[in-house]
Amino acid sequence: MEQLEKVYIPRVSQYRFCQIMAENLPRLRDQIKEISMSDLKDFLESIRKHSDKVGEAAMKQAQQHRTFNSAVAKQASMGHYTKPLYALNGRGHTQMLNGLMLDDMVEEEDGEEEVLTAQDLVDFSPVYRCLHIYSILGDRETFENYYRKQRKKQARLVLQPQANMHETAEGYRKYFNQIVGFFVVEDHILHATQGLVTRAFTEELWNMALSKVIAVLRTHSSYCDDPDLVLELKNLIVVFADTLQGYGFPVNRLFDLLFEIRDQYNETLLKKWSLVFREIFELDNYSPIPVETEEEYKLVISRFPFHDAEIEKQEFPKKLPMSQSVPQIYTQVKEFIYASLKFSESLHRSSTEIDDMLRKSTNLLLTRTLSGCLQNLIKKPHIGLTELVQIIINTTHLEQACRYLEEFITNITNVSPETVHTTRLYGLSTFKDARHAAEGEIYTKLNQKIDEFIQLADYEWCMAESDGRASGYLMDLINFLRSTFQVFTHLPGKVAQTACMSACKHLSTSLLQMLMDTELKQISMGAVQQFNLDVIQCELFASSEPVPGFQGDTLQLAFIDLRQLLDLFMVWDWSTYLADYGQPTSKYLRVNPATALALLEKMKDTSKKNNIFSQFRKNDRDKQKLIETVVKQLRSLVNGMSLHS
């Protein structure tokens, strides 16, 4: 047309038809531009539809490349490394799309169908043709501006995720495929045309896309509570990043995002394992594991590192001290470590960093998840003293197994535990805390049980004389304590001793409170004698060494306050008490004047209604005055104490 217009038509311009032809040439140019632009619009529509297919092809080949490299690296680590039998043509993954040349052996191993390239899926001729036409017609800039404007619009559409994308891995995959496809096409246009798009333009698009992608992934991944789905998302992000990195796009921010998602992945793992631990604790029978045969014994110790020379010498059948939850918990902690490791794969991190990640996530599992489950278990109402004793034994064995978990992580990462920055596992503190909580709960439940027996007490406070034997409720209580402390033989010595001392002190305090109860207005000497018989049984129990390890009469000292108080009233030794009061050698050093006064007042109030003091009145009526004198002196001591304080 240009030759026709500038060379030939001027030679025959005198002819009318040539003039008409010259007048129609501009209109013809416009028609050609319109037709080519229409073809371009069809191309843009086509590329929008095929973008995900192009992206899928690119990501698939990137995945194959990664798999191949992993296989080569594995062979190298095993000492069978040979030179890779493949070649890349030209630039990274750009030419890889045009065919990654692996040897026949690799292709056979992969067993994959040949992956289509961008050129196979998209006909780029409309772009070339339209660019050529606009360039010749001197309107290239218009075409470039239009193309770039339309592609920017398409980029924004591609970056918009589906509302339910976070529900499935397929949703994420489609999203990534579309984005990769978009940039694969742009990269092809960048290199196949001269200046239609520039590196600056594609980088601008990529920076805009990258910010949007990160924001979208950060939001959608936060909705996910399935660790398997989060792991699939991580794998997709890695392939997505590797694919685009092959085209020269910077992807460091994506790997930074993966560290955020890793924390979330660990959170979903912790939630999952919390349910696992709870189920294990709920199904445990809290009894030592019975093993009938050598095979059963080997099966248990294959799952849990248990060694005890004494138990190994025993004949079958025998019992292992821990309950069935111990090997199950230990196995599940190892499973968690494996699950946590899966996320660290392909993150281009050193062994030391991966080791640190594993130890930190395992510490969270032990100090937060497992610790929380143990604390909740210990507080459950149906967990009794026997179960608490077993929990203490279990946590002792789990604590001892922590060093094997350290070794387990070391064997996975090949990072020596002596490395300067190696994080230690905090399992020891977790199990110690749980054990202390269980011990505290044992003391609490023992005291609650003692209170239940005390509530059954039914003293006849105005009885003339005692029954001559200890009360039934108290004998039942002592029998309960005796059988309970037999169960404590498997506990660490100090725990059993502390529990026994705590129980005796609580019993002594409860009995004294019963005497001092403000609702109790009158007590006869017969009731005091009956009460004394019950305290004697308590002292006999304490002296019988229900738990080994106490020195001398240490346990009996829990009842010393009661003993001295009752002796004072039984012997009626007020002169000694008042004379020696305040002396460190006093026979009744543990008797508080206020306590003695309160009990004496209860006894004095009955003197007019019964014969408590009849012997005194018959023998010497002045002794009644002695009681009044003692009461006055006790009140004086009490008032003196209050003034002094």
Q: Which residue has the higher pLDDT, 610 or 161?
A: 161
- Distance of alpha carbon 536 from alpha carbon 645, whole angstroms: 34
- In whole angstroms, what is the distance from residue 353 CA to residue 350 CA? 5
Q: What is the mean pLDDT of residues 419-428?
A: 67
What is the predicted pLDDT for the residue at 607? 52
If you write DSSP's letter for every residue of 150-173 in order, what string do you get? HHHHHHHHHTPPPTTGGG-HHHHH
pLDDT computed for residue 83 by the predictor: 36
Task: Give the whole-angstrom CA distance, residue 541 versus residue 433.
Answer: 32
pLDDT at 94 over 50: no
Whether the Cβ atoms of residue 398 and residue 365 lie closer than 8 Å to each other: no
Q: What confidence category does residue 117 fall into, taking pLDDT thresholds of 50, 70 and 90?
A: low
Encoded tokens for 129 = 């043709």
Contact 580, 593 (CB under 8 A): no
**What pLDDT was estimated at residue 467?**
86
Say how far apart CA 46 and CA 380 lie, in whole Å. 64
Task: Please give the residue that has the higher pLDDT: either 556 or 105.
Answer: 556
Residue 182: which of 41, 48, 40 has the closest Cα? 48
Confidence of residue 92 (pLDDT cuts 50, 70, 90): very low
Q: What is the pLDDT of residues 317-341, one digit of tens each?
A: 999 999 999 999 999 999 999 999 9
- What average pLDDT does the chain have? 83
Q: Give the CA distances from residue 445 to residues 449, 452, 492, 561, in Å, rounded to whole numbers and listed in that order.
A: 6, 10, 18, 24
According to the per-residue pLDDT averaged within each range, which of 102-106, 166-170, 312-316, 371-375 is highest? 371-375
Please state, in angstroms and rounded to a whole number, the distance separating the CA atoms of residues 232 and 140: 45
Hey, what are 363's tokens?
């510490």
Tell me, what's the pLDDT at 340?
92
Tokens of 103: 């040897």
The identity of residue 188, as a single letter, is H
Stretch 19-31: mean pLDDT:
65
The residue type at 17: F
User: What pLDDT digit, counting tens, does each position of 479-513 carry?
Assistant: 999 999 988 877 776 888 999 999 999 999 999 99
Lowest mean pLDDT segment, chosen from 122-136, 389-403, 534-548: 122-136
Is the CB of residue 446 less than 8 Å from the CB of residue 502?
yes
Question: In 220-323, where do the E strands start and end?
Answer: 289-291, 318-320
**Beta bridge partner(s), residue 560:** none
Task: Say which residue, 596 or 44, is predicted with more confidence.
Answer: 596
What pLDDT is recorded for position 622? 62
Give the pLDDT score at 93.
40
Q: Side chain identity at 443, as an amino acid letter?
A: Y
Stretch 180-196: mean pLDDT: 87
Mean pLDDT of 405-427: 77
Q: How far apart are CA 542 and CA 536, in angstroms?
A: 10
* Phi/psi of residue 583, nearest 5 degrees: -85, 135
pLDDT value, residue 353 = 84
What sign does the CA torsion over 5, 10, 11, 14 have? positive
Query: Please, which residues bridge with residue 86 across strands?
Result: 102
> What pLDDT does 643 receive?
60
pLDDT band at 36 (very low <50, low <70, confident <90, very high): low
What is the percent of the chain where pLDDT is above 90? 45
Percentage of the residues of the chain whose pLDDT score is greater than 70: 81
User: CA 535 to CA 459: how far, in whole Å?
Assistant: 14
From residue 347, give the alpha-carbon distance in Å to each of 220, 237, 276, 350, 357. Answer: 21, 10, 28, 9, 12
Rounded Cα distance between 634 and 627, Å, is: 10
pLDDT band at 604 (very low <50, low <70, confident <90, very high): confident
Q: Using CA atoms, how far apart are residues 153 and 645, in angstroms rounded to an integer?
A: 86
Query: Bigger pLDDT: 452 or 66?
Result: 452
* Structure-block tokens of residue 461: 């406070």
Token pair for residue 510?
Answer: 């409860």
Q: Which of 55-64, 319-328, 536-545 has the lowest mean pLDDT?
A: 55-64
Question: Which residues fall within 8 angstroms of residue 212, CB to CB, at 6 or more apart?
Answer: 159
Distance CA 493, CA 498 (A): 9
Tell me how long the chain is: 645
- Evaluate if residue 552 carries a pLDDT over 60: yes
Query: What is the Cα–Cα distance from 188 to 210, expressed in whole angstroms?
Result: 19
Phi, psi of 458 (to 5 degrees): -140, 70
Residue type, 165: M
- Cβ neighbours, 10 Å, residue 529: 18
Strands 289-291, 101-102: pairing is unpaired
User: Cα dist. 511→201, 450, 459, 469, 472 in Å?
Assistant: 89, 10, 12, 17, 15
Taken in order 348, 352, 353, 357, is the CA torsion positive or negative? Answer: positive
Spell out the residues 6+ positions from residue 378 whose beta carbon is closer than 8 angstroms to its own: 388, 391, 434, 437, 438, 441
Grade residue 45 by pLDDT with cuts at 50, 70 and 90: confident
More confident residue, 1 or 566: 566
Q: Name the amino acid, one letter, at 231.
A: L
414 phi and psi angles, rounded to 5 deg: 60, 30
Q: What pLDDT, on the 0 to 100 scale, is given for residue 97? A: 37
Is residue 323 a contact partner of residue 398, using CB atoms and an 8 Å limit? no
CA 494/CA 503 separation, integer angstroms: 14
User: Residue 88 pLDDT more than 60?
Assistant: no
